[in-house]
Structure 1
Amino acid sequence: ADGVHSLSDLATDFIVLYAAKHSHREADEDHPYGHGRIETLATVGLGIGLIAVSLGIGFDAVERMNEPEHLPVPGMLALVVAAVSIVAKEVIYQYTRRAALRLRSNMLMANAWHSRSDAISSVVVVIGVGGAMMGHAYLDPVAAIAVAVMITKIGFDLVRTSTRELIDTALEPEVVERIRREIHAVDGVRAVHMLRTRRSGGDALVDVHLQVDPHISVSEGHQIGDTVRRRLMDRVEGITDVTVHIDPEDDELGSPCDRLPLRSDLVEKLRQQWKDIEGVEADDVTLHYLSGKLQVDLSLPLSVLDRHPDVRALIMEIEEAARRVPEVDSVRVSFHP
């Protein structure tokens, strides 16, 4: 049984090496998120192959137990080979584990533990072979069944973990909570929503919406987002990509401003309303899309006041004219040199 398992290891190791080589290629036009899922698919195949091998070993052992007169008695060579394989597989485990840590590869780490489980299964085989040599022939097929059960468990775990990754299961709850804490630690972040995480091979990917002060500049919002992105990639192990969306308000349950027109249409409407106010132009207008309404900031040169000595009356006239545009909720007027 252990010999058949070792033969399957050789085939799966070739698959692992191929997938490890190609899954770490850089993202390209056809694969903008990288090639990490090659590793995931290979791991699924590895797990299914292990389950198939374990079933074969188990059925063979059961058949031999049903025909006790045909049970072989292994010799000393089988015992020595099994003992040597224990040491060899532990060496393979240590080597593969170091490679997995260096490459940040879940597949290689799974393969490393696969090798260690092989060593454990070989211990079971030593017990079975030794028992058979002492006249307890049933111990060999019993040990084979034990090996089959262990291999099935490993294969099932590999398939389950990789399948969760293929259907974009979120990262572990404690990791997600760590991500939230790191984001909230960045100055300027008011709230976090629509946080989504997933894995691709050995990489963790994050998408998140950040709520910031609605009246800061676009560049300041971008700076906050970049700071969050760098912080997560530097402080949370495994994160290699973060997509940040900056929001002036919580849009998790909908976007109330979806139906509002864009700048060109609105500025033209404002220009039409202000055309009869001497010196007032819609050249320096900032629009804030909030809660389904528009807040308009209008900046005027101080020279306008030469023609409108009553500042309060001028501001009221501007506000009243702007509110004739249905989408406008409020107007703020300021003056610059």
Structure 2
Amino acid sequence: MIFTTLDLAKRTQVSQKVTLVGAVVDFLLAVFKIIAGFIGNSGALIADGIHSFSDLLSDGLVLYATKHSALDADEEHPYGHKRFETVATLGLAVILTIVGLGVIFDAMTNLANPVSLSHSALLLSITTLSIFSKETLYWYTLKVANAYKSDLLKANAWHHRSDALSSIVVLIGIFGSLNGYLYLDNIATIVVGLMVIYIAWKLGLDATKELVDTSIDAQQVAQLKHALGQISAVNNVHSLRTRKIGHTISCDVHVQVDPFLSVSEGHIISVSVERVAKKCLKDLGDVTIHIDVENDEINTPYEALPERAQALGILNKALFNNECDSEISRIQLHYLEGRIHVDFYLPLKCLQPDNSADKILEKLQETVNELKSFGKTKVYFSQD
């Protein structure tokens, strides 16, 4: 899916809406949990309330990233701001890791100091409310994340899920305390902490891969290369590179075509390549196409060869010295096989009984053969 400007605006609006809803719920839950935890003497519920406050930090991070990632490209960011989401996702993974480690540390500390609870009905009600609301936020946020290809929102959805899981731990701990098994709260908390760290590791790994320009799935690359190779005017596809930028894919590719095509036809082929590439990969955004006349992974046709202005200077001097430049109307150069091949265009009027096409070609070829770096010669005749 390639997002238009209107789509990006809607994406930003929806992302901010779901995040604001989550922020309001996180704030209310944090306040309720901490108050109930103090009233009911539940350290687990107080820790869960602090966990909910950490969600507010992640919500603020998401709001900042979604706002800035939708900005248009500018001089400082010519490729756009999509990686703001990626950086924020990595930051969110760090936050989740810290939360997970904190949960585990608290649980291990509390194993040696179990406490009895009071006001169990209040504790159970607040914990159940937390589980229900955070799980609802998880599915709501995940739905938006999948619809708009946002890894950042997906990360925030899992943050909601981690809070729901920690609330389940609190619920188990409360039931355990009421039935005399005070250690159950802490054991379950350690398990949930490990789950949170695993989620953070997965999200952080994906974000890091994107930041270091890791290629997309190898199967997708193979499919793209095959699709481009099926274009009739494309002789070879090589140097195909891909990377993710936010919710989109970027790629650059070299395609080899007939070396004697016109520039305009080469351009049309590049347009076809871009169209086929975007059809093959639905999330493909930027496509950079390099038209090759040879496989430049193997050959280096321009190495040590004079460029056009210098080559024409050398060639025109040799033609003048051999007195065979007066009738030439145009010269076309072809950089192939490590040499410069030359096409001469002459008017038909230069053909005379004593100056045949073969004789003209022979004289021009002799002139070119004397020049270093030059190769084959062709002569074309046309009306004035």
Deviations 1:170-200 (A, max 9, x none): 1121221222122223221111111111112
Paired position in structure 1 for 2:358: 312
**1:16 to 1:264, Cα distance in 2 relative to 1, 3 A:** same
Paired position in structure 1 for 2:371: 325
Given that residues 117 and 174 in structure 2 are in contact (C-alpha distance below 8 angstroms), is that contact kept between their aligned partners in structure 1?
Answer: no
Deviations 1:215-237 (A, max 9, x none): 11111111111221233224412
Query: What is the deviation of 1:254?
Result: 5.9
Q: Which amino acid aligns with 1:49?
A: I
Q: Tell me which of 55, 58, 61 is aligned to 2:101.
A: 55
Query: What is the deviation of 1:242?
Result: 0.7
**1:146 to 1:268, Cα distance in 2 relative to 1, 3 A:** same
2:378 is aligned with 1:336: no
Paired position in structure 2 for 1:25: 71
Given that residues 271 and 281 in structure 1 are in contact (C-alpha distance below 8 angstroms), is that contact kept between their aligned partners in structure 2?
Answer: no
Q: Which amino acid aligns with 2:126?
A: V
Moved more, 201-210 or 309-318: 309-318
Distance, in Å, in 2 between the alignment partners of 1:43 and 1:307 is 79
Q: Tell me which of 252, 259, 262 is aligned to 1:214.
A: 259
Paired position in structure 2 for 1:151: 196
Distance, in Å, in 2 between the alignment partners of 1:11 and 1:279 is 77
Distance, in Å, in 1 between the alignment partners of 2:153 and 2:331 is 57
SS in 2 for 1:32: coil
Query: What is the deviation of 1:245?
Result: 0.9
For 1:208-287, list aligned pairs within 5 A: 208-253=253-298, 255-275=300-320, 276-277=322-323, 280-287=326-333
Deviations 1:251-272 (A, max 9, x none): 1256242211111222222222
Paired position in structure 1 for 2:26: none
Query: What is the deviation of 1:81?
Result: 2.5
Distance, in Å, in 2 between the alignment partners of 1:253 and 1:78 is 71
Paired position in structure 1 for 2:149: 104
Q: Tell me which of 66, 80, 84 is aligned to 1:38.
A: 84
Query: What is the deviation of 1:91?
Result: 2.4
CA root-mean-square deviation: 2.1
Structure 2 gap segments, 5+ residues each = 1-46
Query: What is the deviation of 1:20?
Result: 0.9
The number of equivalent residue pairs is: 336
Q: Which amino acid aligns with 1:311?
A: A
Q: Tell me which of 98, 104, 110 is aligned to 1:64.
A: 110
Q: Which amino acid aligns with 1:65?
A: L
Distance, in Å, in 1 between the alignment partners of 2:49 and 2:353 is 98
SS in 2 for 1:332: strand
% identity of equivalent residues? 40
SS in 2 for 1:160: helix
Q: Which amino acid aligns with 1:29?
A: E
Given that residues 16 and 108 in structure 1 are in contact (C-alpha distance below 8 angstroms), is that contact kept between their aligned partners in structure 2?
Answer: yes
Distance, in Å, in 2 between the alignment partners of 1:327 and 1:40 is 50
Query: What is the deviation of 1:323?
Result: 1.4
Structure 1 gap segments, 5+ residues each = none
2:334 is aligned with 1:288: yes
2:222 is aligned with 1:181: no
Distance, in Å, in 2 between the alignment partners of 1:89 and 1:220 is 58
Given that residues 65 and 71 in structure 1 are in contact (C-alpha distance below 8 angstroms), is that contact kept between their aligned partners in structure 2?
Answer: no
Distance, in Å, in 2 between the alignment partners of 1:183 and 1:132 is 65
Query: What is the deviation of 1:137?
Result: 0.9
Structure 1 consecutive aligned stretches of length 4 or more whose deviation exceeds 4 Å: 71-74, 277-282
Distance, in Å, in 1 between the alignment partners of 2:187 and 2:296 is 61
TM-score normalised according to structure 1 size: 0.92
**1:307 to 1:32, Cα distance in 2 relative to 1, 3 A:** farther
2:207 is aligned with 1:162: yes
Q: Which amino acid aligns with 2:81?
A: H
Deviations 1:99-126 (A, max 9, x none): 3244332211222233334434444443
2:345 is aligned with 1:299: yes
Q: Tell me which of 101, 112, 125 is aligned to 1:80.
A: 125
Deviations 1:10-53 (A, max 9, x none): 21011111101111211111101111221111111111111111
TM-score normalised according to structure 2 size: 0.81
Moved more, 235-244 or 125-134: 125-134
